[in-house]
Amino acid sequence: MSEIKRSKIKDLLHMEAGVEVLAKGWVRTKRGNKDIAFIALNDGSTIYNVQIVVNKADFDESLLAKITTGACIGVSGKLVESIGGEQAVEIQAASIEIYGECDPMRYPIQKKGCTMEFLRTVAHMRPRTNIFGAVLRVRNQMAFAIHEYFHSKGFVYLNTPLITASDCEGAGQMFKVTTLDLENLPRNKKGQVDYSQDFFGKETSLTVSGQLEGELGATALGEIYTFGPTFRAENSNTPRHLAEFWMVEPEMAFYDIKDNMDLAEDFIKHLVKYALENCKDDIKFLNDKVDNELISRLESVISTDFVRLPYTEGIKILEEAIANGTQFEYPVSWGTDLQSEHERYLVEKHFCKPVILTDYPKDIKAFYMKQNDDGKTVRAMDVLFSKIGEIIGGSEREASLEKLDARINELGMSRKGLEWYVDTRRFGSCPHSGFGLGFERLLLFVTGMSNIRDVIPFPRTPKNAEY
């Protein structure tokens, strides 16, 4: 077996019949009759399996008995034209090696009864299923497409810290990082925890966003992006929230809110197009098995202009909808933060296309956003998508030292840990903008999956940190 080089199943399925091949992978199914066995083998390189045809008389019965669903095997033999099979070619087995047996009584991934909920309880094994294989391959392609997109535009990939002493979004939803003995905390004279004795000599947390450091990068390098994990200790048990998720945050000097919206729209369209072109087999599979409207939804996003609408106009539309009998769980009025039901109403019912909502009330947005002349709103932009709601959040940033200072004071924020950030406005301040795309929210859209726990390999959610 060792003389032949192993081929990935993805490549092997496109080879000419007649060659000798070696395939290695995990058994999906074995069926057959008393003379012949058919094994469907998958190695993760493609959604498709290769069919192995085994002439039972040529092999030991004890070896064949070990070929059960989930077992890992290597098979060499001739690639022959397949008669009646889904694929053009199949392997006529000449030799089979068993690498790892798989007890059929204990293997959790059975063909029947594997709901998404059940698979979450065996998330260490679920990448072996067709759906998760497809989702994880699409995830990989999308990560590559993100880097490629920004690289081609000359953006610098900036690595921002995961451990931080500042709360970018100001929402207080941070996981603390400490080496203090929680059973025996050091206290100062006032009885407060004495963080000067902690590892970093101050209170630190896992970051909720790389933006503040991203702004330092943009105001030196011009255009940067970050792409990494972010953490939020919000106790939101919804199909759209994770405690650990990946965010892409571009930040650009000399961009105003319009340039920012143009980039966000072009970026998402590019990613969706990339998925349709480069993940054809997996997207087709997800369209067939998970969501029959997936491909048409993806195609329509590429070809439509996103609606651009001020928040105030959005509220009017929602209030009119209520007056005309639409019922929402949460109330709507100027000044309230929109719930996902409201966002989805605008996108799915009213406009029937993606919406970029701008100019939100300053009190429901973060301190760093550029203040409009009306004194009430800020130059925020949220991109809203069907089925998901908010997929991107961003803004033009407040470039004026005076105004930023005033807002920090107004909100009663501690200045101590923020002086370095304010320095960007103190020394050569410039107009700039940026946004954050939730990577898993993008993946929900691109794969048609309905729960965010199913587009990340090992989800972190309230009361769940398994694996």
Q: Which residues bind ligand 4AD (CB under 6 A)?
A: 168-169, 209, 211, 232, 234, 241-242, 245, 247, 249, 390-394, 434-436, 438, 440-441
For residue 244, list its beta bridge partners. 231
Which has the closest alpha carbon to 443: 224, 290, 259, 251?
Answer: 290
Looking at beta carbons only, is 50 or 309 nearer to ligand 4AD?
Answer: 309
Provide, rounded to whole angstroms, the least separation between the CB of residue 234 and ligand 4AD. Answer: 6
Q: Is 330 helix (H, G, I), strand (E, B) or coil?
A: coil
Burial class, 314, CB count within 10 angstroms (exposed 0-12 / middle 13-18 / buried 19+): buried
CB of 318 to Mg ion, least distance (A): 18
In angstroms, the Cα distances linking 191 to 178, 186, 195, 197 are 18, 9, 12, 14
Count other C-beta atoms under 10 Å from residue 32's C-beta: 13
Between residues 39 and 168, which has the closer beta carbon with respect to ligand 4AD? Answer: 168
**Should residue 393 be labelled a site residue for Mg ion when binding is judged by CB under 5 A?**
yes
Distance CA 267, CA 314 (A): 24
Quote the CA–CA distance of 240 and 229 in Å, as a whole number. 16
Report the partner that residue 436 touches, choosing among Mg ion, ligand 4AD, none (CB closer than 5 to 8 A by kind).
Answer: ligand 4AD
- Shortest Cβ 393–Mg ion spacing (Å): 3
Min separation Cβ 15 and ligand 4AD, Å: 41
Residue 217 or residue 393: which is nearer to Mg ion going by CB?
Answer: 393
Nearer Cβ to ligand 4AD, position 76 or 166? 166
- The option from Mg ion, ligand 4AD, none interacting with 211 (CB < 5 to 8 A, set by class) reads ligand 4AD
Q: Min. distance of Cβ 49 from ligand 4AD in angstroms?
A: 33
Which is closer to Mg ion, CB of 210 or CB of 393?
393
Task: Considering the complex, state which of residue 26 and residue 245 has its C-beta at the smaller distance from ligand 4AD.
Answer: 245
Closest approach, Cβ 236 to ligand 4AD, in A, equals 6
Task: Please count the other Cβ atoms lying within 10 Å of the Cβ belonging to residue 259.
Answer: 15
Q: Which two tokens stand for residue 293?
A: 């409207």
Contact predicate 297/347, CB 8 Å: no
Q: Give the shortest CB-65-to-Mg ion separation in angstroms.
A: 56
From the list Mg ion, ligand 4AD, none, which binds 232 (C-beta under 5 to 8 Å, kind-based)?
A: ligand 4AD
Q: For 350-407, give the DSSP string.
A: IISS-EEEEEEEGGGS-TTBPBPTTSSEEEEEEEEETTTEEEEEEEEBP--HHHHHHH
Neighbouring C-beta atoms of residue 151, cutoff 10 Å: 12
Closest to 291 in 3D by CA, of 216, 160, 388: 388
Picked from Mg ion, ligand 4AD, none, the partner binding residue 398 (CB below 5 to 8 A depending on kind) is none
Q: How far is CA 293 from CA 138, 301, 335, 399, in A?
A: 17, 12, 35, 43
Which of 360, 358, 346, 344 shows the shortest CA–CA distance to 318? Answer: 346
The letter for the amino acid at 232 is: R
Residue 435 CA to residue 252 CA, distance in Å, equals: 9
The beta-strand segments (E) located in 152-294 are: 156-157, 163-164, 176-177, 204-206, 223-231, 244-253
Q: Nearer to Mg ion by C-beta: 393 or 459? A: 393
Q: At its nearest, how many Å lie between ligand 4AD and the CB of residue 220?
A: 17
Number of amino acids touching Mg ion (CB under 5 A): 1
The two tokens of residue 462 are 């309230």
Smallest gap from Cβ 191 to ligand 4AD, in A, equals: 33
What's the CA gap between 97 and 44, in Å, rounded? Answer: 19
Contact partner, 343, from Mg ion, ligand 4AD, none, Cβ < 5-8 Å per class: none
224 binding partner (options Mg ion, ligand 4AD, none; Cβ < 5 to 8 Å by kind)? none
Instruction: Identify which of residues 354 and 393 has a Cβ nearer to Mg ion in the complex.
Output: 393
Q: Of 39-47, 51-59, 293-301, 391-399, which part binds Mg ion (CB under 5 A)?
A: 391-399
Of the candidate spans 79-87, 91-99, 371-379, 392-400, the one that interacts with Mg ion by CB under 5 A turns out to be 392-400
Cβ proximity to ligand 4AD, 155 vs 285, nearer residue: 155
By CB under 5 A, name the binding residues for Mg ion: 393
